Amino acid sequence: MFAETTAMDQATLLSGYMLGVVELTLRLGGAALVLLRRSTQPSRAIPWMIVVLALPFIGLAVYLLFGESSFGIARRRRYLKSLDRLRRETSTWVETGPREPMTLDQHDVQVAAAALSLDAAPIRPGNDVGVTCDPDVMDAWFSEAIAAAQSDIDITTYIYEDDRCGRAVAKGLAAAVRRGVRCRLLVDGFGSSRFLRSSLIAQMRSDGIETQVALPGSLLRALFHRIDMRNHRKIVVVDGSLGFTGSRNIVAPEFLAKRAYAPWVDCLLRVRGPAVTDLHRVFAVDWNFETGEVVSIDPARAVAVGECPVQVIPTGPAYDSEAVAQTLHAAVQVARHEIVLTTPYFVPDTAFLRSLAVAARRGVVVHLVMPKRNDSHLVALASRALLGPLLEAGVRIWEFPNGLLHAKTVTVDGVLAIVTSANLDRRSFELNFEVTAAVYDNRATESVRAMQQGWIDASTRYERAEWSGRTNWARFQEGLAGLLAPLL
């Protein structure tokens, strides 16, 4: 009996020892993996180091699922193949139609050059640009464009909802198909998950509208790449000559799925002219990646009809650069008088925070406008944790109370406007497929700036004293969320 007990104790000790060795190996191996993969990003490496060291089994699994910006080798190769084919076509494009000579502010030239070196399209002069934040105007623009379509309508959206807006677009597309227009719709597998389970998508397919899911997720896919990478773009192209982009999804502003935060306040950019071809190219790459079908693009359809220079900047995990992040850095650094930024989610990296603070300290008036109530509580806490240095530097922070300010806009010195699908956070900068339009035109920038001023006028200013007077519990929550900020 004693011998049996001793043997059992020895077996227990041995198994405990082996478990300890495995645990230590996972801790050290996980930490080494983080250091190897994040050696150039210490602000993001430290939180992951804490996770894998504190929770060696779960932490390493979570890191492998969500810590790597891995798009997947095969997927990336396939995406770049689509991109390269269209780049070769781009090199032969010839702009058509009359246009005025393009003159740019020297600071605009620097921003445009930075974007061009990071996979952006060239600046396309000769565009006519409109911008609105009125949802009724947006719906009218969509309705009129779809009703006037003669050959093709191509749409990419992160969220498509079976609501009054989604049904109106579906009805218009069905009518377009009946008169011979080809309609293609690409929706994100996560953002449009409710739509993909609805009866509306079945009806649309029955009506002849070609629908495709972008970046569908599954447990099998999780073995090879991150499953939370999303196609967050919003693009509508009609007949290759009229394009829309911005923050507006195909969803009504009352957004029934998150009605407690409604209305959603968006910004939509309408473009006619050569830049539409670049928007169409972004759609074509995504569609070819998901379906294998080559979308024919004819730049001759996007005739120059105005004087506004526009540059389209696509970004995503298949690209080699963080073009939207670095373009925004460049815009902040060249600002001389004023920068206005609006975003629903503000969790940028340390470098961008410092750029904003330095701009304010050198005399640039910096406005940051965010929603007072955010649909992501964790992001709201993480954002609040980052505001202290900005307030101390003199950045003017505004909280918009009338719904969720979802518009992602930047204006610089009244001469440059940026309208994008990207939020000011790591997810948009690294993990999501996004599209940005930089508009190098005073008149168009004035329109965007006027919208921004309307949001500022409706907002309350978040003061430094208010930030300093937070309760200890609020500080604790924000500090904890702040530690996770590099991971969001």
How far, in Å, are 17, 82, 160, 189, 420 from residue 311 at the CA level?
Answer: 61, 21, 26, 28, 12
pLDDT given for residue 275 in this prediction: 97
**Residue of 163, 413, 425, 441 marked catalytic:** 413
Active-site pick, 108, 152, 239, 375:
239
Instruction: Look up the pTM and report it.
Output: 0.85
The question of whether 234 is a catalytic residue gets the answer: yes
What does pLDDT average to over the chain?
Answer: 85
Average pLDDT over residues 354-364: 96
Q: Looking at residue 99, what is its pLDDT?
A: 45
> In this structure, which topology does domain 73-107+122-310 adopt according to CATH?
Endonuclease; Chain A (3.30.870)
Active-site residue, from 375, 406, 425, 441: 406
81 is an active site residue: no
Please give the C-alpha separations between residue 27 and each of 59, 61, 66, 405, in angstroms, as whole numbers.
Answer: 9, 12, 17, 42
Q: Residue 233 in contact with residue 437, Cβ under 8 Å?
A: no
4 pLDDT above the threshold of 60: no
Q: Is the pLDDT of residue 227 over 90?
A: no
Distance CA 85, CA 94 (A): 17
- Does 358 have pLDDT greater than 70? yes
Residue 239 designated active-site: yes
Dihedral Cα 250, 254, 259, 262, nearest 10 deg: 110
- Please state the domain extents for the chain: 2-66, 73-107+122-310, 323-487
> What is the percent of the chain with per-residue pLDDT over 90, rounded to a whole number?
56
Of the listed 280, 329, 408, 425, which one is catalytic?
A: 408
Q: 482 is written with which tokens?
A: 């702040």
What letters, b where the CB count within 10 A reaches 16 and e where it falls short, cover 5-33? eeeeeeeeeeeeeeeeeeeeebbeebbeb
372 is catalytic: no
Catalytic residue chosen out of the listed positions 225, 232, 329, 367: 232
Q: What pLDDT does 398 receive? A: 98
> 22-31, 239-248, 293-302, 455-464 — which is least confidently predicted?
22-31
pLDDT band at 13, cuts 50/70/90? low
Residue range 370-381: average pLDDT?
90
pLDDT computed for residue 67 by the predictor:
60
Summarised one tens digit per residue, pLDDT across range 149-201 is 999 999 999 999 999 999 999 999 999 999 999 999 999 999 999 999 999 99
Domain 323-487 homologous superfamily, CATH: Endonuclease Chain A (3.30.870.10)
48-80 pLDDT, tens per residue?
A: 666 666 666 666 666 665 565 556 666 667 777
Catalytic residue among 107, 225, 234, 367: 234
Using one digit for the tens of pLDDT, what is the confidence trace for 118-130? 778 899 999 999 9
